[in-house]
Amino acid sequence: AKITFITSDNETHIVEGDSGSVMELAVNNGIQGIDGDCGGVCSCATCHVHVSPEDISKTGEASEIEKDMLELDDNADAYSRLGCQLAISDALDGIVLRVAK
Ligand code: FES
């Protein structure tokens, strides 16, 4: 799937992946602002992204654990997801993700 990341300094990076998580893809491509400190176990929120509103139907629902984690983040909104909880598949093709501050 082709995935677009927009970093906090408004740089656009289009990267491609076919497995793993959005967090792993971002880290492997050096996307600024995605750290993945907890290694992808939904406990650090350093992989926080905002899904563009028109793409939100591509991602499915966040799990309860993910929602709880996002609630602790002041910058979270209705389009927030944790990148480590988004598995890359064809369903995400074309998605635009803004890296959270
Ligand atoms: Fe830690 Fe996603 S990498 S919550």
Q: What is the CATH number of the domain that holds 89?
A: 3.10.20.30
13: containing domain: 2-99
Task: Average the pLDDT over 49-56 and give the result.
Answer: 98
| Percentage of the chain lying above the pLDDT 70 cut | 100
Contact 28, 16 (CB under 8 A): no
Is residue 101's pLDDT more than 90?
no
In this prediction, the answer to ipTM > 0.90 reads yes
Protein residue with least CA distance to atom 4, ligand 1: 42
pLDDT the model gives residue 53: 97
Of the chain, the end-to-end C-alpha distance in Å amounts to 24
Mean pLDDT of all residues in the chain? 97
Per the structure, how many domains does the chain have? 1
pLDDT the model gives residue 71: 96
Cα 31 to averaged position of ligand 1 atoms, centre (Å): 14
- Residue keyed to tokens 């650090």: 44
12-16 vs 48-51, strand pairing mode:
unpaired
- Residue keyed to tokens 């074309």: 94
Question: Which of 31, 32, 33, 81 is CA-nearest to residue 59?
Answer: 81
Of 21, 22, 23, the one to substitute when testing ligand 1's pocket (max ligand atoms within 8 A of C-beta) is 23
